Amino acid sequence: MNPTELLGALRRVRVVPVVTLPHVRHADPLGETLLGAGLPVAEITFRTPAARDGIATLRARHPELLVGAGTVLDRTTVDHAIDAGAQFVVAPGFNPDVVDHCLERKIPVVPGINSPTGVEAAVARGLPLVKYFPAEASGGLRLLDAMAAPYDGMAFMPTGGLTPDNLPDYLSRPHVAACGGTWIASTALLAEGEYEAIGRNARGAVEIAAAAATS
């Protein structure tokens, strides 16, 4: 998958569950739940030891699921993500060392930014997509709209503080390719095995995305 293909895939799904796995055993039922809800994507964050094996499990057992690696902070984690089968990398900030290593390894990378300086660093490297993070804490849509205006060719993936309540407003923006959300499959829901609740959250996100596409 190249960066353009990733952007196209994210524009189709519109919402990316951002998931911190408590244990690798949660990966398989999570993948089954997301696919059953019509949301075939997950970003697995490297915030727990379960991330690497969780990504590998999802890729092996649910090949139709688009699986990314999140909270990637260094080159070593990029390599772990690639070895596990991740199809894209997401970082909370713009670390040139991480971004350049991803480009060298030919895996799409979505670095985090919340300023025009970050956008220009991405433009300089030919990236078509950046993560707007932390979205709500940084200024929400007011900052995003102002920041996106000079960069017609750049797409954004807002993440951080998004909920079903503000998701429609974010998805209404043409410069927003997709939104990341932790509420869909929170660590607490996973730890408690609440897959029915996760499925409801995922279906709700799909419905919001569908409504935004027709509005």
Catalytic residues: 43, 131
Contacts 24+ apart (CB under 8 A), 192-197: 193/29, 195/29, 195/30, 195/33
What sign for the dihedral angle of Cα 135, 140, 143, 146? positive
Q: Where are the alpha helices (DSSP H) in the chain?
A: 3-13, 27-36, 51-61, 75-84, 96-105, 116-124, 135-138, 140-148, 167-171, 187-191, 195-214
Rounded to a whole number, what is the distance in angstroms from the first to the last CA of the chain?
Answer: 30
CA pair distance 196, 184, nearest whole angstrom? 11
Q: Cβ distance 136 to 167 under 8 Å?
A: no
- Please give the structure tokens belonging to residue 117: 């300086």
Cα of 177 vs its chain's centroid, Å: 11
**Are 185 and 35 in contact, with CB atoms under 8 Å apart?**
no
